[in-house]
């Protein structure tokens, strides 16, 4: 993370979470260093994919998960 900050760049870092994890990153530390945390999940009971912004510094946002669709045109919030 310090190398990315030194590079003065915008980076998207991805991580896979173990099922049932209460952290927002695999190591449980990265979410504190990152400016934003976005969680992508699947709700099999409703057959929907969801996106939730759990953290985004310097901006207001909802914590409510939003339904998304992924198709040929990319990802869309529905």
* Whether the model pTM is above 0.85: no
More confident residue, 42 or 25: 42
Residue 37 DSSP SS3? strand
How many domains are contained in the chain?
A: 1
Structural domain range at position 37: 2-77
**How far is Cα 43 from Cα 41, in angstroms, rounded to an integer?**
7
Scanning 1-70, the segments in alpha helix (DSSP H) are 2-6, 30-33
Percent helix, strand, coil in the chain, to 5, is: 10, 35, 55
- Tokens 């946002």 map to which residue? 61
Q: How confident is the model at residue 71 (pLDDT cuts 50, 70, 90)?
A: very high
The pLDDT value recorded for residue 59 is 93
Q: Has residue 25 got a pLDDT over 90? A: no
Tokens at 25, concatenated: 């990153």
Tokens at 23, concatenated: 């952290």
């Amino acid at each position: 993370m310090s190398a990315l900050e030194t590079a003065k760049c915008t980076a998207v870092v991805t991580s896979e979470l173990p099922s049932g994890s209460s952290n927002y990153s695999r190591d449980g530390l990265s979410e504190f260093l990152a400016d934003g945390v976005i969680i992508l999940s699947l709700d099999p009971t409703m057959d929907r994919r969801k996106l939730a912004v759990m953290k985004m510094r310097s901006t207001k946002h909802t914590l409510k998960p939003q339904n998304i669709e992924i198709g040929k045109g990319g990802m869309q919030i529905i």
